[in-house]
Every structure is written in C-alpha cells, then in structure tokens.
Structure 1
Amino acid sequence: MVRGKTQMKRIENATSRQVTFSKRRNGLLKKAFELSVLCDAEVALIVFSPRGRLYEFASSSVSEIIGRYRCHCKINNTPTTSESVENTQHLKEEAENMRRKIDLLETSKRKFLGDGLGSCSIEELEKIEQQLEKSVAKIRTKKTQVFREQIEKLKEKEKALVAENVKLSEKAAKKSQRESVQEAEPYVDQSSPSSYVETELFIGLPETRTRRIPPKI
C-alpha cells in the first residue's frame, strides 16, 4: 500500500502530534548515531519537546562540540585581508581629517589671541573682530549674572544677621530689666546688729515702770 505524502504543517490533534513527535525523535536520534559511527563525525543533537523536556545526543560531549562550534564561528567571522586593508585605509583617512581640523582650530586660536594676523585679509579681520565682540558680550552677561547672584546671597546673609541681632538685643534688654528690678527691691540684713525692731515689751522692775500718758490735744 502506497503511503500518502505528509503535509508539512502543524498537527492539530494533540494525541497525534505527541505520537508523531516520539516516533520522529527516535528516528532522528538513530540517524545521528548512525552518522557519527559510520562517518566518524562529531555529532551533537538537542531537542526540546513541546512541554520543555530535553532530549540530546552527542558522539563525544555536547559541551565540547558546542565550544568547537563557537570557536569555528569566531574564526569565520573575522574580516578577511581585503576588509582589513579597507578598514585601515578608512582609519587613516579619518585620522588625517581630524589632524586637519585640529590644525584649523589651532590657527583660529592663535588669530583670536592676536598672533598670525599678517596673512589675514580685511574680511577675515572683520570676522575675527565680530566674533571677539560677541564673545566679550557673552562674558559680560555672565559676569553680570554672577554679580547679581552674589548680591542676592549677601542680602540673604544680611537678613539673617539682622534677625540674629534683633534676637540678641531682645535678650539683652530682658536681662537688663531683670537686673534693674532686683536692684530696686529693699534689702534687710537680718544678721546686722544695727537692725532693730520696735515692740511694746518693757524690761525692768515693776515699781520703776511708769505709764506714759499721751498728751491731750
């Protein structure tokens, strides 16, 4: 019986798909083994099932074959001699262009500093003068901005010092007021012998005691 040609598309039936995977996986592993034995070739085969299960075969070691494969890719990816020559030539051209730009910048710098102006035309001198005037204007603007920022900082410091001075003046005034109150209060020294207290107590003999009659008015 002639077997029909299998269409290369995903099998929709899950059971049929799993059966086909198992059969063809075993056949693929068998072919890899036969290739390695019959032809003395290094073969590595890695298969992941739809559920993520790993199946592998290697004639020697999977890691060794993968390492050899990476080294082979690095060697093949290196540029050829012609490509190396072209890259070198391109780098030389870029270096030459950079050198020319640096020379132009150095020449412009010397002209801005007032050196090497003998070969300059009137138009070049006018351009240099205009550029210098623009640079001076920018510098003055920046200078003014810095001055304003410094003035604002000094004003803030002045406010802080004034506030601190007010606090210190209030504390000094309160302290002076307390000292004035303490000085105004009378002080009596109880231990001094010159302090006397008037009482109605009379000390002496009874017969010598006389009664003072206040004068009639």
Structure 2
Amino acid sequence: MVRGKTQMRRIENATSRQVTFSKRRNGLLKKAFELSVLCDAEVALVIFSPRGKLYEFASSSMQETIERYRAHVKDVQTDTSSVEDVQHLKDETASMAKKVELLEVAKRKLLGEGLGTTSMEELLQIEQQLERSVRIIRAQKMQVYNEQIQQLRSKEKMLADENAILTEKCQNQKDQVIITEETRSVDLRVLENGENSDVETELFIGPPETRIKQRWLK
C-alpha cells in the first residue's frame, strides 16, 4: 500500500497529533545523533511539546553549544552593524560632498563667475537674491548706526551731567573763597580802625564842658 503525501498543516485530532509528535520527535532526535556521529558536528536540539515538556539532545554540552551560538550571533550582528554603519557614512559623505559642490557653484554665480551656461531665469533669481541680500545688509547697517548714535547720546548726557556737577562744585568753591576774602578784609578794616580811632575809654563825671577842660589840661 502506497502512503499518501502528508499535508503540511496542523493536525486537528488531538490523539493523532500526539502520536505524530512522538514519532517525529524520536526520528528528529535520532537524526540529530546520527549527524553528530557521522559528520563530527556539534549538534544541540531543543524541543518543547504542546504541553510544555522539554526534550533535548546535545552532542557535547548543551550550555557550551548555546554560549557558542550566542557569541556567533553577536559577532554576526556586530559585523552587519559595522558594514551598515560604514555604508551609511559613505552615503552621507557623498551627499555632503554633493551639497558642498552645489554651494560652491551658487557662490561663484553670486560673485558673477561661471555665468556662461546660466539661463535667463537663473539670472533673474540671482539678481533677486542679491537685491534681497543688499536690503538685509543695509537694514543691518542702519541698525548698527542707530545703536551707535544711541550710545553716543547716552555718553553725551552722562558727560553733561558730570560737567554740571563739576561746574556746581567749582562755583561753590569760588563763593567760599569770596566769602573768606570778604571776611578777611572786614577783619583787617576793623583792626585798622581800632588802632587809629580816638575813642575815649576813660570815665568822666560832669557836664561836657568839664570833660573838654580836663582833656586840654592833660
């Protein structure tokens, strides 16, 4: 009797599914053993049943084989990442070089160089761009001028205030000197008048005539 071809899909009957799992599991474990013996290969096989039961086979040590597998996967991922990073850097470098080249061409055109193959539309765009640049530069220049003028006005006001304060101090000092000189002159006149005056300081008793006679007798 010829066996029919088994369809690769889930077996709906639970009993048939369990029987098929047991048969094919044993066959898979047997094939793994034969492969490791015949080819001197390091084989590790892990199977979990539908109920979660573990079945495994290892030609040497399951733990060592797993660690070897992890190291190999890590190296492959690192190599792949390095290759991708290098390729990304190359693409980015090429893109930047192209942008720099375009900027150099645009710069030369703004300076009036390399305009031989420039179309009329491009020339108009360059002209408009230059006009915008000139307007921006002039506006910035006027702003700088206004800021400088404002600073100079502030400095002028500060100097004027300082000058007014100094002028007031000088005037106060002059007034103080004048007052001192006037006081000194008055004192000198008082002293001179005191030395030259004939003010009588003696005490006389009697009428004025008697006083005059006594002065002549002296």
Question: So what's the TM-score if we normalise by structure 1?
Answer: 0.53
Question: Partners in 2 of 1:198 and 1:95 — Cα distance?
Answer: 118
Q: Are 1:212 and 2:215 matched, yes or no?
A: yes
- Label 1:187 to 1:78 Cα distance change in 2 as closer, same or farther (>3 A): farther
Query: How much does 1:115 deviate?
Result: 1.1
Q: C-alpha deviations, 1:72-102, integer Å up to 9, x for none?
A: 7798266354554444333322211111111
Q: Are 1:96 and 2:94 matched, yes or no?
A: yes
Q: C-alpha deviations, 1:9-40, integer Å up to 9, x for none?
A: xxxxxxxxxxxxxxxxxxxxxxxxxxxxxx8x
Question: Partners in 1 of 2:182 and 2:130 — Cα distance?
Answer: 77
Match of 2:139 in 1: 141
Query: How much does 1:132 deviate?
Result: 0.4
AA at the equivalent of 2:128: Q
AA at the equivalent of 2:188: V
AA at the equivalent of 1:212: R
RMSD: 3.6
Q: Which runs of 5+ in 1 are unaligned?
A: 1-38, 43-68, 203-209
Match of 1:175 among 150, 173, 176: 173
Query: How much does 1:114 deviate?
Result: 1.3
Q: Are 1:188 and 2:188 matched, yes or no?
A: yes
Question: Partners in 2 of 1:179 and 1:82 — Cα distance?
Answer: 97
Matches within 5 A, 1:155-174: 155-174=153-172
Q: What percentage of aligned pairs have identical amino acids?
A: 41
Q: Which runs of 5+ in 2 are unaligned?
A: 1-60, 203-212
AA at the equivalent of 1:211: Q
Q: Are 1:79 and 2:82 matched, yes or no?
A: no
SS in 2 for 1:105: helix
Largest Rg, 1 or 2: 2
- Label 1:74 to 1:149 Cα distance change in 2 as closer, same or farther (>3 A): farther
Match of 2:7 in 1: none
Question: Partners in 2 of 1:144 and 1:201 — Cα distance?
Answer: 88
Match of 1:118 in 2: 116
Q: Which has the higher helix share?
A: 2
**Aligned pairs, how many?**
139
AA at the equivalent of 2:136: K
- Label 1:78 to 1:188 Cα distance change in 2 as closer, same or farther (>3 A): farther
Q: C-alpha deviations, 1:116-136, integer Å up to 9, x for none?
A: 111211111111010000001
Q: C-alpha deviations, 1:159-217, integer Å up to 9, x for none?
A: 1111111111111111111111122222339999x945646479xxxxxxx6137xxxx
Question: Partners in 1 of 2:119 and 2:177 — Cα distance?
Answer: 86
SS in 2 for 1:212: helix
